[in-house]
Structure 1
Amino acid sequence: MPDVMSNSKLIGVGVGPGDPELVTVKGVNALRAAEVVVVPVMAAADGQDGGEPGRAEATVLHYVSREKVVRVVFALNERADRARREAAWDAAGERVARLLREHGTVAFATIGDPNVYSTFTYLAQTVAELVPGTAVETVPGITAMQDLAARSGAVLTEGTEPLTLVPVTAGSAVLKDALAGPGTVVAYKFGRQSAEVAEALRETGRIGDAVWGSALGLAEESIRPAGELGGEPLPYLSTLIAPPRREGGRGGKL
């Protein structure tokens, strides 16, 4: 039953792509100030906590005590079974609503940025219905494309170039359309379709300067030229940067 708690606050905190040094000062302060820090974890086949710590949790534990962290199960990466996904969101919303009633202020840690392809969006919508009057805030985080650009030396945009961000979970055709257009194209979540991505890059003449990376800032980090992409599956959260051809020297895109 929905209730009104005008003094409750839900804060989505972006904790970056994995490197704990990339959490902003504002993000760290928000995590430490919250009564509880919620982290999303992968659902096992039975819908329960899969047991393995997620990337957001591992990052958060660099800044707050484990006692303050609460794991909440999400059907992350679930696209085929809509009913299971919706049930997981509902259950997560109910759990966070209870935490808000008990503690008042709850932070939700999400990898990357809470306003860019984040589970926080769905959680906030559910909680707003369950606990009307809850203030929802977000703290921006460093995104995977920014981190990959920094680690690989790829320049995301110059001058008047547009930047297109595509989740390959929408289908490789969406990526191919973007690659046929102008500017830099960034692809998220392409690991399971690496063969299709490599084909699209070759067909559009973009493979030469493109780079991909996964597990950025972690021990298992991998950053490679896109030309090395084969048909092998890659980590789900792999990121691709495909810059346009740049000619005309310094300032040529102004």
Structure 2
Amino acid sequence: MKLIGVGVGPGDPELVTVKAVRLMRAANRVYVPVLSADETGYAEITVRTHVDHDRIERLVFAPPSHPDEPDAAAEAVARYLHGIGPHGSAVFATIGDPNVYSSFTALASAVRSYLPEVTVETVPGVTAAQDLASRCRVPLVEGGEPLTLLPLGEGVGGLSDALDRPGSVVVYKSGRHLIGVKEAVRRAGRLHGALYGARLGLPGEVVRPLASADGNTAPYLSSVLVPARRTGVRSGAQ
């Protein structure tokens, strides 16, 4: 039996790979992560563009309140996999890439603890960093430049240090901290050319210079790209 983490990209259904679509259509079940059972998550919107079977199921993620509490989502997936037998498969569809700051990593580990015989595989997906760079016609990295990728779910700590180093800096999950992000980028002298994107490829998409982004209304899944200091490169964001 297999549990397959499939990256479905940042939101644009046309950025889902052929392999991802094939596996989702063939799977016994396709799980899409949500915070509550009555919501439609970003991943589900993308998945339903390509998959019309009735085997899509919302998987509610509610972190255990203490270490000894069972992981309800992992238990549900392990129970299902055990029931379908050795030749079945379940797909977990995740926005972006399943190996880049994805909830799939923790889910797969927990499922293995309940079901050691499960085989875990992943299918890469296009990341928000790649999509934002492409939409703005700015190289993400070039030559020997490094790339720093930071998730800011807990705050802007570490961002200033990253901005002081060479290369491009990408900030994920920046919505709640966008005001602080803008200030850190401004202090580093890199606000000009910095880019902001949210809901890429989905209704309500926003792509604009970071300087004009509204820090009070930015959604949680927002991305910021601060390109490397270069000469002769201009942003295409309007």
Give TM-score, length-normalised by structure 2. 0.91
For residues 29-88 of structure 1, give each alpha carbon's deviation from its aligned partner in whole angstroms, at most 9, with x where no partner exists. 111121110111113xxxxx2x1110111111112225110111013xx7xxx617985x
SS of alignment partner, residue 83 of structure 1: coil
Counterpart pick for 1:225 among 209, 214, 221? 209
Q: Which secondary structure does the structure 1 equivalent of 2:224 belong to? A: strand
* Percent of residue pairs bearing the same amino acid type: 53
How far did 1:171 drift?
Answer: 2.4
Alignment of 1:69-80 (within 5 A): 69-75=56-62
Q: Report if the CA contact (8 A) 2:33-2:60 is conserved.
A: yes
For residues 229 and 58 of structure 1, do their structure 2 counterparts lie closer, same or farther at Cα, with a shift above 3 Å needed? Answer: closer
Separation (CA, whole Å) in 2 of partners of 1:204 and 1:236: 23
Classify the secondary structure of the residue corresponding to 2:150: strand
1:109 to 2:93 alignment: yes
User: Residue 217 of structure 2 aligns to which amino acid in structure 1?
Assistant: P
1:59 to 39, 42, 46: 46
Deviation string, structure 1 residues 148-203 (Cα, Å, up to 9, x no partner): 11111121111010000001124212111111111000000001111100100110
Separation in 1, partners of 2:152, 2:45: 26
Please give the root-mean-square deviation of Cα atoms over the aligned residues, in Å: 1.8
List runs of 5+ in structure 1 lacking aligned partners: 1-7, 44-48
- For the 8 Å contact 1:154–1:241, the answer to whether it is kept is no
Question: Aligned partners of 2:67, 2:210: CA distance in 1, in Å?
Answer: 32
**How many Å separate the matches in 1 of 2:176 and 2:217?**
5
Q: How many Å apart are 1:19 and its aligned residue? A: 0.8
What is aligned with 2:80? 99
Large movers: runs of 4+ above 3 Å:
84-87
CA distance in 1, matches of 2:132, 2:173: 14
CA distance in 1, matches of 2:146, 2:189: 18
Change (3 A) 1:231 1:238: closer
The one-letter code matched in structure 2 to 1:39 is V
Point out where structure 2 has 5 or more consecutive residues left out of the alignment: 234-238
Does 2:15 align with 1:22?
yes
TM-score of the two chains, using structure 1 as the length reference:
0.86
Paired residue for 2:149? Answer: 165
Contact residue 13 and residue 141 of structure 1 kept, 8 A:
yes
User: Contact 1:194–1:233 at 8 Å: present in 2 too?
Assistant: no
Once residues 215 and 208 of structure 2 are traced to their aligned partners in structure 1, the CA distance between those partners, rounded to angstroms, is: 14
1:198 aligned to which of 159, 165, 182: 182
Amino acid corresponding to residue 96 of structure 1 in structure 2: V
